[in-house]
Amino acid sequence: MLGMGEPNDSAVSRSNESERSVHDVILRMLDEDTGLDDAIKGAVLDALAEVIDTEHGPVDANTTPTFLTTISVAGFRGIGSQAKLDLYPSPGLMVVSGRNGSGKSSFAEALELALTGTSFRWHLKEKMWEETWQNLHRPDPCAIRIGFTTEGVGACTIGLDWSPGAPLTERSSWTQTGMEKRVDGIEHLSWARPLELWRPVLSYDELGRLFDGGPSALYDALAKLLGLEDLADAEKWLAAQLKSTKTIRDRADAERKQLLAVLAQFDDERAERATALLRKKGASVEDVLALATGSDDAASTVLPALRAITRLVTPTLDDIEAAVMRLRSAAQAAATAAANVADGTRQRVELLQAALRFHDQAGGVECPVCGQGTLDDEWAAITRQTITGTEQALSEYRSATAELTQARSAAMNLAANLQTVGEVDDVELPALAAYCDAVAAAQAFPDGDAELASHLESTLVSVADVVGALRDEATVALQTRESAWAPIAAQLGGWVLLEQEARAIDGDVKTMTAAKRWMADHAGQFRNLRLQPVAAQARKIWGQLRQESNVDLGDITLQGSATRRRAILGGEVDGKPTKALSVMSQGELHALALALFLPRATAVDSPFRFVVLDDPIQAMDPAKIDGFVQVLSDIAQTHQVIVFSHDDRLASVIRETGVDARLVEVVRETGSKVTVRDNVNPALRQVNDIFALIKDDKLPDDIRARVLPGLFRVAVEAAAKQSYYTKQALLGVPRVESEQSWASVKKTISRLALAVHGQPSADLKGWLDAKPGRRGTLRLCNAVHSEAKGIDVPEARDLERTVQAVLALR
């Protein structure tokens, strides 16, 4: 109707494509990425499942279309006694104008407070607001009522109440659907998420600050608008998961590092071996464990050596005494035996035996040796006796000699069997040298049995003396080592457990890292894919708003992530590329903020079919206001647009250009008495036009008669349409159905019947007769040429009253 852009079909379908859930798009991307490892895919899916199912799936968000019917306020901000702003719960533009301080913003703030529990205005200025939120003149009663209609449900009210003197935060809030019981709080409406995503209330302050936060704040705001938080949450979840998984690996590594530091100060070959093992990535933890528990001592030398020393055995004093005594007595016995058996005895015995054998053969003969004696029987008997005695002495001698030999070797063995002990690395054993010396001394045998006995007696005793000290030293050294090692062994054991745990999840860490990288890579593409339609819409709105601005809005892109995230607005100034933001004036920034955020507030999925703008045009020049009205009219095709403005320029554009819009004026009188007046209503404007035509006396009567019936009809039907849609919305009838019913009847009387009784065929008789002038008005709506002649002010007054009566239907 205004020659403004029709809703762009291709843009709509594209935006539907872009409304596909993050989940679906990621799934598709995963499918397309054929080279991707299954484990990584699994991790990405886990992340998505985690963030989407838990917090804000589309399931628990209420998206039933909702319009506003009333905002009623008492004792709040600039409004004293109760003031009510009636709204038509259907698509259309409504401007609420009023001077500064007229109380109009109080309506917007009341709505914002009821919906979100806060207001952008006092978000950062809480202190100030605590004192000024209540009306100064009439703080009691203090209450807010917001009326809604929801398709399929009907009328619904949100109420906020304060007891007298209660602070802002101590309020009771409730909701009431139709005539049902009030329910505490507004949570069960499930609007929390939609409010965050598609906030339907935008204030001047909020728009102005959009760019103050810098590119990262803008990024967040845009990401929110694109519904990309799921994506960011999934990325965050992966990062957190990776971090917590990695903590185990990190702990194992930190423990390894600490162990290495401790081991470096530890002077022990086990420490060296442990160090070597720990330095090697992927070293066998079993080896480390064996080292810790001591089950691999074979591999080391010091400990066994020390243990051998502690087990060192030397002859006891008794042993020594016995051996020496034996040696001594054997030596003495041998000496005695030797004395008994004089030298040459054996030869003499052998000679005598030979002589006896000779005698036995030759009989009594002269001695062949000396030749003087006779070897007779007497001699033989004597000789035999002698030989026997002598042989006895000889055998004694032999056994004494054998005993001596044994005793000597036994005694010498005592010394020879002494264990020698070598130096032990890194262990100081002062007694070791003495022991070695004593052993060496003991083993240096002198000649002679008596000397040997005395030698062994003294040296072995000193060995026995010194070995006790050596054993003690070794035992102490061993204990020291063990007690110093024990905690390290425990630590090693602990590390082994950690390391085993960490190794078990090393694969996970790798997968998670890859999944995180995959997300980051694809999220970037995805974000900008999603942004495209919104950016296009923003550019379109900017195109309407910019008017004289020489700044051309180009690509809007989201770049980076985490702390380096930022939104980039490209642009051209007189054809030269530049960053758009830096070259824009305050008014242009404002228009740009609107261009970016009207798409958010009017997103297809939003349950809020209303957009409330509080003072949006403060910094705009008139050309932009024209563009702004066009933008709003576009949105008003599908949404209930409510604009609060203290600036009469917006109102005047609407008044003068015949935009199909309602204009109400808020006036505040002394004592905070706020009244709302219907200033321009599409139906009432028709009535005004009719008065103007009647008053124009230069207009020929026949032309007036041709024109007026049509204008009467438009006025009555405009009023009927507003009332019908309002009533239907309050009953919860979906907008589409109301539109179909409306379009299916063409006659004025049927449309009036729809408005009055909800049925096109209903009987209007009673209603038409209730007030004089109604029938006349209806007749003139359908009058043909001649019947319409002579219409004058009284007929126009009847029309005005009838239209007002229709508008008052609810």
Binders in 404-463 for another protein, by CB under 8 A: none
Here the tokens at position 655 are: 């008044």
Residue 45 as a binder of another protein (CB under 8 A): the answer is no
Report whether 529 contacts 269 (CB < 8 A): no
Distance of alpha carbon 678 from alpha carbon 693, whole angstroms: 22
CA 715 to mean position of chain CA atoms: 60
Taking alpha carbons only, the member of 295, 263, 234, 94 closest to residue 722 is: 94
Under DSSP, the state recorded for 521 is: H
Contacts with another protein, 714-753, as mask; x by CB under 8 A: x---------------------------------------
Cβ proximity to another protein: between 107 and 712 the closer is 712
Q: Which two tokens stand for residue 739?
A: 């539109």
Q: What is the C-alpha radius of gyration for the chain, rounded to an integer number of angstroms?
A: 58
**Least separation in angstroms between CB 122 and another protein:** 30
| 4 versus 277: smaller Cβ distance to another protein | 4
Name the segment binding another protein (CB under 8 A); options: 337-345, 402-410, 688-696, 776-784: 688-696
Site string for another protein, 106-145 (x = CB under 8 A): ----------------------------------------
Does position 619 interact with another protein (CB under 8 A)? The reply is no
> What's the CA gap between 327 and 408, in Å, rounded?
6
793 binds another protein (CB under 8 A): no
| CA 41, chain centre distance (Å) | 18
Measured CA to CA, the distance from residue 341 to residue 97 in angstroms comes to 155
Exactly one of 304, 671, 710, 794 binds another protein (CB under 8 A); that residue is 710
Name the residue nearer to another protein (CB basis): 297 or 647.
647
Choice from 112, 614, 626, 634 touching another protein (CB under 8 A): 626
Q: Which is nearer to another protein, 2 or 381 (CB)?
A: 2
Stretch that binds another protein, among 237-245, 440-448, 466-474, 621-629 (CB under 8 A): 621-629
Residue 700 binds another protein (CB under 8 A): yes
Closer Cβ to another protein, 335 or 707, answer by number: 707
Assess 588 for contact with another protein (CB under 8 A).
no
Find the length of the chain: 810
Q: What is the torsion angle, in degrees rounded to the nearest 10, for the CA atoms of residue 468, residue 471, residue 472 and residue 475?
A: -160
Least separation in angstroms between CB 689 and another protein: 5
Nearest to 503 by CA among 292, 288, 291, 299: 288
Kindly state the tokens that stand for 550.
């020489």
* Cis amide bond preceding 430, omega within 30: no
Nearer to another protein, 87 or 625 (CB): 625
Which lies closer to another protein via its Cβ, residue 49 or residue 623? 623
Which stretch in 112-120, 593-601, 690-698, 789-797 sits in contact with another protein by CB under 8 A?
690-698
Residues between 544 and 563 with contacts to another protein, criterion CB under 8 A: 547-548
- Would strands 201-203 and 610-614 be described as parallel, antiparallel, or unpaired? parallel
Q: Which is nearer to another protein, 700 or 772 (CB)?
A: 700
Our CB check for another protein shows the closer of 69 and 679 to be: 679
Distance separating alpha carbons of residues 623 and 642, to the nearest angstrom: 21
Least separation in angstroms between residue 2's CB and another protein is 7
Window of 153-161, 433-441, 600-608, 618-626 that interacts with another protein by CB under 8 A: 618-626
Contact track, another protein, 506-545, x by CB under 8 A: ----------------------------------------
CA gap 727, 733 in Å, rounded: 9
Q: What is the DSSP letter of 5?
A: P
Specify the residue, 225 or 783, whose C-beta has the smaller distance to another protein.
783
The overall longest dimension of the chain from CA atoms, in Å, is 213
Task: Using alpha carbons, list the distances in angstroms from residue 174 to 43, 307, 609, 612.
Answer: 43, 84, 22, 22
Measured CA to CA, the distance from residue 271 to residue 276 in angstroms comes to 8
Least Å from the CB of residue 3 to another protein? 6
Token pair 């020291």 is found at 480
Q: For the CB of residue 622, give the shortest distance to another protein in the complex, in Å.
A: 5
How far apart are CB 704 and another protein at their closest, in Å?
A: 8
Q: Give the ranges where 573-700 is alpha helix by DSSP (H).
A: 586-601, 622-636, 648-657, 682-695
Q: Which one of 693, 731, 745, 762 is in contact with another protein (CB under 8 A)? A: 693
* Residue 697 CB, nearest approach to another protein (Å): 9
**Site string (653-682) toward another protein, x via CB under 8 A:** ---xxx------------------------
From first CA to last CA, the distance across the chain in angstroms is 28
- Find out whether 609 and 640 touch, Cβ atoms under 8 Å: yes
Residue from 623, 736, 793, 808 in contact with another protein (CB under 8 A): 623
**Which residue is associated with the tokens 């008789």?**
765
Which of 7, 42, 622, 766 binds another protein (CB under 8 A)? It is 622
The site that binds another protein (CB under 8 A) totals a number of residues, namely: 27
Q: What are the tokens at 35? A: 């080279």
Residue 116's Cα: distance from chain center in Å? 26
Shortest Å, Cβ 154 to another protein: 34
Determine phi and psi for 210, rounding to 5 degrees.
-55, -40
DSSP 118-166: S-HHHHS-HHHHHHHSB-SS--SSEEEEEEEEETTTEEEEEEEEE-TT-
- Answer yes or no: are the C-beta atoms of 427 and 471 closer than 8 Å: no
Considering beta carbons, is residue 528 or 618 the nearer one to another protein? 618
Position 708 contacts another protein (CB under 8 A)? yes
With binding defined as CB under 8 A, does residue 703 bind another protein? yes
Binding site for another protein (CB under 8 A): 1-3, 547-548, 621-623, 626, 649, 656-658, 689, 692-693, 696, 698-700, 703, 706-708, 710-711, 714
